[in-house]
Structure 1
Amino acid sequence: MLQKKKILIRIGSLRHGGAEKVLVTFLKNLPKDQFEIDLLLNLYSGKYLQEVPNWINVLYLNKGEMITTNRIQDIPKKASRVIYQNLLRKFPNLLYKRKLQNKKYDIEFAAIHGMRDEILNSPLQSSKKIVWIHNDLSEVRGYSNDEIKKFFGFDKILVISQKIEKLFHDLAENIVEKQKIVKIYNPLDTHEILTEAEKPVINYTFDKNIPTFISVGTVFPQKGFDRLLNVHKKLLEEGFQHKLLIVGDGYDFEKIKNLKNELGVDDTAKLLGFTENPYPYFKNADFYILSSRYEGFPTVLFEAITLQKKIIATEVSGVKEMLDNGSLGLIVDNSEKGIYEGMKNALVNPALFENYTIRMKSYTKPFTLEKSVKDITDVLNKL
């Protein structure tokens, strides 16, 4: 009998985000007879915790909900978490000796780019090291070319789109570095999306006489919800009746909520906050809009395609691949003006979107759950 490979996977938490969702979907479809996995979280928190298979050993540095505010009463706990995590980052031997009990891993896996240094600074010299890149790092603040080149310290770099693959190929200095780059589309569960979409909508009423645009994602600047609200206001002022629904939570939630109030659009725009199941909202909305400033490979578009939605998306990494070069949805300039023109087009010329829907019905997606899981598993087995 083959000995199971021992793998350490690191991620911040399992809150509602694309990378977190993708990781848990991957773990749920991984053959448990091949691997022994420790999943180490910085914070034991998030909606996806309950979905982690019970054969995976979940460890954590801190427990409790993420603190996204700076209220006086929250500062001591927030500070202690940061100090503890920074201590373990600076002295990784403490982490590996105490929390991980001197376990010898075959593979150490950074499930997001933010865990780069934690894995590369591991005291385990013999382990193979992998990173999963979910964002176009050329668009992420703090990531110069020199910073991005540090990822070549990994044995394998998993990238999720052509644009990210090109970024790393352009920065690779030799054939050895180029061979480290592996493009694998994210594993996503079509059956789960379709099943969950049939459940009832809660805390929102759709008006069949007024078009509703929906956008789903973690509420922080990357997602461009500020741009979306500004465009919503402008279109209303021009007489285009419509509603806007934003589903998600995050550290920018209060800021976006305040912007909504300042713009005076409380009657037409709603911030739903976090919901366990966003798919019924997808299903009932008229248009899905991606307003992101940058992405890696926006998995939310896979969900919108699966639910046959009419799509408008800013031109960020992964969008052309996901929307088949614009045959499945309207790709607009990555700007407030682009978002405005896309939404106005949807309201003035809805027939255009019928053509996208027709093509979507006969479209065969080049990415499947089974293929993605197999491709990642092959990488693990070959290391």
Structure 2
Amino acid sequence: MKKKKILIRIGSLRHGGAEKVLVTFLKNISPDKYEVDLLINLYSGIYIKEVPSWVNVYYLLKGEMITTNRPQDIPVKAFRVLYQKMFLWFPALLYRFVLKNKKYDVELAAIHGMYREILSSPQKDSKKIIWVQNDIFNLKEYTPEVIRKFFKFDRILVISNKLKEEMHKLAGTETEKQSVIKIFNPIDKKDTLEKANASIDDYPFNNGIPTFISIGTVYPQKGYDRLLQVHKKLSDEGLKHQLIIIGDGYDLNNIQELLNKLEVQETAKLLGFRSNPYPYLKKADFYVMSSRHEGFPTIIAEALILNKPISATDISGIKDLLQDGKLGMITPNSEDGIYEGMKKFLIEKGLAEHYKKEIENTDLPFVLEKSVQHLQEIIDEV
């Protein structure tokens, strides 16, 4: 059987949900069926070492991601932007000199931000797929006019019913509607459980006080500013609890400054990046998501695998993951909503056990094998 030749494009393989999902997918598809080339704009990130050896990895640039705007970093950032744009403006150069004139059956943008790169491909006969991993309808740069361009793809993969509904509103024809396919991102349950059992010696709290944890890149969209304000308010009301935030990103210094300003250093800890956050998640009592917007919050799926009671803001994908509130609390997407969710767990002592039992008795839909099979079927049929 002739192997299907696939080009997959992504910005980097840093510690993000979309990057992890892509690598999980690559680790679970058959090298006997597919020949995969993975083209990374910036060769960096913790997931690079997890890419299977049979996948051909290409890159435009090599080096660490720059998340600050220090004066000494600006020339490097400017060069990187121009170098990548050169291949966007002159894609024939990319396909000739980097990809060695290889012909592809399928070209896949593994994240919404790569839509221009795939649509500019000089290979007009290849089938084009885009994998929308974020709530693009909440991103300022993604106007309806920009999102309409996504219908130039043969298939648009979305990771929540909300995104599918929004795409359908923009669709001009029935064919465009049918090109939008809702999928569950593949989550490796076995891998999550194994990593959660690793020993750690820097867990900040071991005093029996209820502890909330939140994990994710420290960007404004994550709402950690709101979360710290709520933590302070609950503490001032005498509701004793602790908070752990794991992650790094360009907003890290601002969040640390806010933590210090609120004088909650004893009860809230900003631990920074951890390559394996799951032991911390396992030891915490509750998971709290304060995000302003997300696509498919992979960490929520992993919290469910670890049977954690969850309070999450009403963002894209959350109703699918928490089954409309059956498996966890879905709160209004506001500071008041975050406050009410955390307060409920602190004052209603039986609520956490209720959600744990619901999770235990539910067949979670993001099973690795089913998700990978669905993705393979889409690639095979396109």
User: What residue is the counterpart of 1:281 in the other structure?
Assistant: 280
User: What residue is the counterpart of 1:328 in the other structure?
Assistant: 327
Q: Which runs of structure 2 are paired with 1:100-249 in the superposition (5 Å)?
A: 100-249=99-248
2:204 and 2:269 in contact (8 A); partners too: no
**TM-score of the pair, normalised by structure 1:** 0.97
Unaligned runs of 5+ in 2: none
Q: Which has the higher mean CA deviation after the structures are superposed, 76-85 or 185-194?
A: 76-85
**TM-score of the pair, normalised by structure 2:** 0.98
Q: Structure 1 residues 76 and 156, CA, compared in 2 at 3 Å: closer, same or farther?
A: same
Structure 2 CA distance, aligned partners of 1:126 and 1:320?
A: 38
Structure 1 CA distance, aligned partners of 2:268 and 2:70?
A: 27
Letter in 2 for 1:107: V
1:134 and 1:160 in contact (8 A); partners too: yes
Unaligned runs of 5+ in 1: none
Q: Write the deviation string for residues 232-274 of structure 1: whole angstroms up to 9, x where unpaired.
A: 1111222222111011111211221122122222221111111
Task: Give 3-state SS (helix, strand or coil) of 1:131's partner.
Answer: strand
Structure 2 CA distance, aligned partners of 1:227 and 1:91?
A: 43
Over 4 Å off, 4+ runs: none
Q: Which has the higher mean CA deviation after the structures are superposed, 27-36 or 343-352?
A: 343-352
2:287 and 2:308 in contact (8 A); partners too: yes
Displacement after TM superposition at 1:123 (Å): 1.1
Displacement after TM superposition at 1:312 (Å): 0.4
Letter in 2 for 1:19: A
User: What residue is the counterpart of 1:293 in the other structure?
Assistant: 292
1:206 and 1:285 in contact (8 A); partners too: no
Displacement after TM superposition at 1:295 (Å): 1.4
Structure 1 CA distance, aligned partners of 2:349 and 2:310?
A: 11
Displacement after TM superposition at 1:291 (Å): 0.7
Structure 2 CA distance, aligned partners of 1:126 and 1:98?
A: 20
Structure 2 CA distance, aligned partners of 1:362 and 1:29?
A: 27
Structure 2 CA distance, aligned partners of 1:230 and 1:321?
A: 28
1:159 and 1:184 in contact (8 A); partners too: yes
Letter in 2 for 1:51: E
Q: Which has the higher mean CA deviation after the structures are superposed, 18-27 or 133-142?
A: 133-142
- Once the two structures are aligned, what percentage of the paired residues are identical? 58
Displacement after TM superposition at 1:369 (Å): 0.6
Structure 1 CA distance, aligned partners of 2:10 and 2:180?
A: 20
Q: Which has the higher mean CA deviation after the structures are superposed, 357-366 or 107-116?
A: 357-366
Q: Write the deviation string for residues 129-182 of structure 1: whole angstroms up to 9, x where unpaired.
A: 000011122111211222111100000011111111111112111111012111
Structure 2 CA distance, aligned partners of 1:355 and 1:47?
A: 36
Structure 1 CA distance, aligned partners of 2:190 and 2:92?
A: 43
2:40 and 2:59 in contact (8 A); partners too: yes
2:130 and 2:156 in contact (8 A); partners too: yes
1:206 and 1:284 in contact (8 A); partners too: no
CA RMSD after TM alignment: 1.1
Question: Does 2:253 align with 1:254?
Answer: yes
Task: Give 3-state SS (helix, strand or coil) of 2:310's partner.
Answer: strand
Structure 2 CA distance, aligned partners of 1:209 and 1:105?
A: 56
Structure 2 CA distance, aligned partners of 1:364 and 1:334?
A: 27
Question: Does 2:368 align with 1:369?
Answer: yes
Q: Write the deviation string for residues 309-358 of structure 1: whole angstroms up to 9, x where unpaired.
A: 01101011111111121111111100001001111111111312211111
Structure 1 CA distance, aligned partners of 2:234 and 2:327?
A: 24
2:157 and 2:180 in contact (8 A); partners too: yes
User: What residue is the counterpart of 1:338 in the other structure?
Assistant: 337
